[in-house]
Amino acid sequence: MKRAFVNMGLIAGSVLISLVILELIARSFYDVPSPYPTKPGIIVYDQRGFWSMEPGLESSIDNIVDFRNKQLTIHENGSRKLPCLNQTGTHAQDIYLIGDSQTFGWGLSDDETWANQTQCLLNKKVPGRYRISNLGVPGIQVDQYVMRGIRQVLQRIKNNDIVVISMTWNDLVGFYSSPDWVTSRLKDAQLVEGRSANGGIIVTADPAPQPGHPGLVTAPPTDLNFVGSRPYTRLAPETWRYNFYQQYGLFVPMVDSAENFLYSMNYVSAGFRLVWSRAKLLFYKIRPADSFFKKVPADSYKFNFLSLKALSHRLEKQGARVLVQFLPNRVFFDDYYYYSYSKNGTVFPVRDFFWHIGKPFCDSLKLNCINRFDDLKTSDRDAHTFSYDGHYNAIAAERIGLALARDIIDFSPPLK
């Protein structure tokens, strides 16, 4: 019996030593990404009912593997700094960018974001006319776009100001409020949902708007500001796991679910990261072609676009011009990921699937939609995204900035 325990110990020790050697070899080729590219809790709650970046934040973004020490600066109003913006000048038109991490510029320095690239180009083409505010916040969805647009941006709108609402793939396939919430937002905009003769989703004027529902903002435009006081309510604040990582450089994997455990192991082991990335690709190749669509909640597409219509309608009544910008996922515009994740094109009926789904809603709801698929499509793997993280890189930001600057100039009325 004693000999058996000794043999088991030797086997276990050999396995452990082998794993350590394999991990050291893996780390010579692959870094272990940081689970905390920024310090936790930098997204804070504005008392008007939406999430914002922490006012006055000066920090950096660093995930070790894709981007290192990228400057991150937030103004006191919660918008991200645009180095190309002249804060003291006068401007005929304000441009408000509403969106998630792709709008915010995750993994990019202040000067690399497509928001700043757009500002730089507009400065050159039409000096002094435009002032951009980047209101992107990582991790939020359409319901938060609507609340921020109504409760912060609407009060600021002047005639011919522009609001660009950028939708990403996560926005399209998920909706995190209720059908009643959508109905309420439509009522606030004095709209009701209907159907066209061919069955498409439309909205019409509410035949019996309720007294007291919000209408035009009659007060003079207010400053773009943050409403809140310290201590802030923070999204995903610091935890013991973060403090342990900061002190010892070791990440303790999450154990609340098998999915979270496997995901968090990427921050523990370079070897696991290597195996996991290939295992995921294999899974996507062998999974049933309809498995993705089974996970999309019913009516997500409809609820998201109706919510955007409610916001767009109120902004336009106030005098704004509204663009809905489609920012596609690399799963569609990058050849490598498309053929891997779509099973050589069998999962999605068309390559530009985002536009395929969204364009009919844009047409029936009379939304001004623009699409960045052609600007980002590439046959070179990770030409426009960070390899591990997946967000747009500086090259993609430059392309989006160029395209958006062109669209803004075309969308603006002639100066008198």
If asked whether residues 217 and 93 sit together in one domain, one would say yes
Same domain, 356 and 211: yes
Query: What confidence score (pLDDT) does residue 4 get?
Result: 63
Q: At what angle do helices 179-188 and 300-317 cross, to 10 degrees?
A: 20
Give the pLDDT of residue 209: 67
Query: Do 76 and 107 lie in a common domain?
Result: yes
Q: What share of the chain is helix, strand, coil (3-state, %, to 5)?
A: 45, 15, 45
Tokens in use for 331?
């799963």
Spatial distance between the Cα atoms of 83 and 132, rounded to a whole number of angstroms: 11
> In residues, how long is the chain?
416
Confirm if 354 and 326 have CB atoms less than 8 A apart: yes
pLDDT tens digits, 8-40: 665 666 656 655 676 667 677 778 999 999 999
| pLDDT, the chain, mean | 90
Q: 148 and 57 share a domain?
A: yes
The pair phi, psi for residue 68, each rounded to 5°, is: -125, 125
Overall average pLDDT of the 129-136 stretch: 97
In a domain, 216, yes or no: yes
Q: What is the predicted pLDDT for the residue at 297?
A: 85
Q: Confirm whether 416 is domain-assigned.
A: no
Question: What integer pLDDT is reported at residue 343 of this predicted model?
Answer: 82
CATH number of the domain at 226, please.
Answer: 3.40.50.1110
What is the rounded CA–CA span in Å between residue 175 and residue 365?
18
Please indicate, yes or no, if residue 367 is contained in any of the structural domains.
yes
Residues 57 and 101 in one domain: yes
Total tally of structural domains belonging to the chain: 2
Q: What are the backbone angles phi and psi of residue 12, rounded to the nearest 5°?
A: -60, -40
**Residue 274 forms part of a structural domain:** no
pLDDT tens across 357-399, in order? 999 999 999 999 999 999 999 999 999 999 999 999 999 999 9
Q: What phi, psi does 237 have (nearest 5°)?
A: -75, 180
Q: Where in the sequence is the domain holding 377, given as residue range(s)?
A: 43-236+290-411
Position 283 in a domain: no
In a domain, 346, yes or no: yes
Total Cβ atoms within 10 A of residue 44: 22
Q: What is the pLDDT of residue 341?
A: 87
User: What digits encode the pLDDT tens for the residues 197-253?
Assistant: 787 788 988 776 666 556 566 555 677 899 999 999 999 999 999 999 999 999 999
Query: Can you tell me the distance from the alpha carbon of 123 to that of 142, in angstroms, rounded to the nearest whole number?
Result: 30
User: Tokens representing 136?
Assistant: 């992107």
Of 88-92, 114-118, 173-177, minimum mean pLDDT range: 88-92
Q: Is 178 exposed, middle or buried (0-12, 13-18, 19+ CB in 10 A)?
A: exposed
- Asked if residue 335 and residue 388 are part of one domain, the reply reads yes
DSSP of 113-142: SHHHHHHHHHHHHSTTTEEEEE---TT--H
Q: How many Å apart are CA 229 and CA 28, to the nearest integer?
A: 47
345 pLDDT more than 60: yes
Q: Is the dihedral of CA 207, 213, 218, 224 positive or negative?
A: negative
Residue 347, domain member (yes or no): yes
> What pLDDT, on a 0 to 100 scale, did the predictor assign at position 320?
97
* Cα–Cα distance measured from residue 324 to residue 337, given in angstroms and rounded to the nearest whole number: 25
- Are 18 and 162 found together in one domain? no
Judgement on whether residues 106 and 189 belong to the same structural domain of the protein: yes
Same domain, 134 and 205: yes
Across the range 87-116, mean pLDDT stands at 92
Question: How many Å apart are CA 66 and CA 386, to the nearest integer?
Answer: 6
The pTM score is 0.92
- pLDDT for 136 equals 98
Do residues 160 and 84 both lie within one domain? yes
By percentage, how much of the chain surpasses pLDDT 90? 71
Same domain? 24 vs 77? no
Same domain as 174, residue 140: yes
The structure tokens listed for 235 are 């999204």
In a domain, 324, yes or no: yes
Q: Amino acid identity, residue 411?
A: F
HSE-CB for 184 with a 13 A CA cutoff: 9
